[in-house]
Amino acid sequence: MLFNSLVFFVFLFLTVIVYYLPILKKYQVQILILASGVFYGYSQCLLLLLLMFSASINAVTSYFVYYHNKQAYRRLWAVSGVAANLLVLVFFKYNKLVGSSIYGDFSNLEGLGAYFLMLPLPVGISFYTFQGISLVVDVFRSSNQDHGPARHTVQIDRSFPLHYKKIFFYIVFFPQLVAGPIVKAYEFLPQIKPKLLNQIEWDFVIKNLILGYFLKVVIADNLKDQTFFIAYPFFQGYSSLNLMTFLFGFSIQIFSDFAGYSFIAIGVAALFGYKLPQNFNFPYISKSFSEFWRRWHISLSSWLKEYLYIGLGGNRKGKVMTYVNLFLVMFFGGLWHGAAWGYAVWGMWHGVALAVERFFSKKKNKKDNFILQFVKICFVFLFLSFAWPMFILPEIKQAIMYFQAISENFHLRPNLTIIIAIIFFSIPVAVFHVYYLIKQNYKFQYFRTLEYWAYGGMLFLLTISGGSPGKFIYFQF
């Protein structure tokens, strides 16, 4: 079920009404579990079986990790829980990548092997699998007192039925189920308690929903019709200027699409009394690559840092291993995005950038002047934009062909209509980031009034300037 569909609005309206009925107050969790099942299984009911299986694995393993009376068995349960999550993810997400690496063209395979290789990718599997892993790891750390108190403590109910219900709810909660933000158990579980209608922060809800839908419907959906020509073989017929503009436009599109989803998810969750973590924090004002990853897809970046980078040793094992760890984390982060080697190369592109930046960075107290800050912001944005062919195009050779076309197609006449359209729909995102910078550095008393005018303008544009409806980009991950 898509957030930007009529059926979702009807579904959400009915769910809110039933959820806040006083007579059903003590069944609020069960209502949201049922609603999440309807939301997730709306298009493919069979996917519910996989979701239930994943949620059950994490509920069972986390319980025994916490309550088994022997440390060795707690560790065994934790390892089993993480391994089970990874096996499910690898089986459904990377079967084609592994199959193509072994068999090459497996289109002529027959029998059971061919059936498994042609299984579709379940929506949201990358997100709810990572939530399950973080749950099991954090519960193990909470129960393991040999190395001191855990950084984040997860409390597990002694009653297994109650524990199962809470963990099941934590995994399947529909606002963040299919595209995040990735929520940690220690953030979510303490919030599970009765909610009242008069506790809703309506200002917060409405602002997130308007901003989210504006970014998705007005910006991303309009830009996708212009950046479509990045696909092979269409890009070969466009000028170098068009090809570079496509990449800049896609930078704006993917931010608007994914940040839009995150804002909507945060707003919808708040409608039910639950707070989800911030997932985007004006990433295109970043003056360094490390800052960008602190501002872009924050829930994934923090997950990779907390459960992979630190697990590999972080920066505690010398400079060389620090660079290796950065590279490996971004490599696996790239593969998380999709079952194609292009995603891995895209991750390595960022890994090399982070390692090189760390190597040349020097601690200094002097603040850069405005011009130097602006140059750094532009450089980071250009670097990020020129990485997108490896992310978008399914084959590495096609990404290479795209870069070749940029260098060779200067003789072709630019399509100015497309360039103007991309610039036009990119301006609101640029203004969005500039406004944040101004607001951070200058205190104007009229900012709050300006914000309400801005939200009113976005709401108006939603009714007249929506692009052709499309799925969220991160649904495929």
Would you say residue 297 lies in a domain? no
Task: Clarify whether residues 273 and 388 are in a common domain.
Answer: yes
Which tens digit of pLDDT belongs to each residue from 222-269?
A: 999 999 999 999 999 999 999 999 999 999 999 999 999 999 999 999
Question: Is 293 a domain residue?
Answer: no
The domain boundary residue, chosen from 169, 199, 229: 199
* Separation CA 159–CA 138 (nearest Å): 19
Predicted TM-score (pTM) of this structure = 0.91
Cβ atoms of 74 and 140 closer than 8 Å: yes
On whether both 359 and 455 belong to a single domain, the answer is: no
Give yes or no: residues 343 and 354 share one domain: yes
Rounded Cα–Cα distance for residues 477 and 93 (Å): 9
Domain count along the chain? 3
Give CA–CA dist 304/325, Å, rounded. 11
Same domain, 422 and 411: yes
pLDDT in tens, 186-224: 999 999 999 999 999 999 999 999 999 999 999 999 999
pLDDT band at 101; cut points 50, 70, 90: low
The helix, strand and coil proportions of the chain, stated in percent and rounded to the nearest 5, come to 75, 0, 25
Per the document, the length of the chain is: 477
Of the candidates 317, 344, 367, which is a domain's last residue?
367
1 part of a folded domain: no
pLDDT at 148: 46
**Which tens digits make up the pLDDT trace of 28-78?**
999 999 999 999 988 778 889 999 999 999 999 999 999 988 888 899 999
What is the distance between the alpha carbons of residues 289 and 359, in angstroms, rounded to a whole number? 13
**What is the C-alpha to C-alpha distance for residues 175 and 57, in angstroms, rounded to an integer?**
21
Question: Which residue in 210, 228, 216 sits closest to 257, CA to CA?
Answer: 216
Q: Please report, as a single letter, which amino acid is at residue 31.
A: I
Contact status, residue 429 vs residue 255, Cβ threshold 8 Å: yes
Q: Say yes or no to pLDDT of 442 above 90.
A: no
Q: Indicate whether 399 and 260 sit together in one domain.
A: yes
Confidence at residue 195, expressed as pLDDT on a 0 to 100 scale:
94
* Domain stops at, among 348, 367, 386: 367
144 and 57 share one domain: yes
Say if residue 348 is in the same domain as residue 398: no
In-domain check, residue 398: yes
Residues marked as catalytic = 337
When pLDDT is averaged across residues 120-139 and rounded to a whole number, the result is: 90
Structural domain of 139 = 6-199
For residue 393, how many other CB atoms are within 10 A of its CB? 20
Both 17 and 158 in one domain: the answer is yes
Same domain, yes or no: 92 and 189: yes
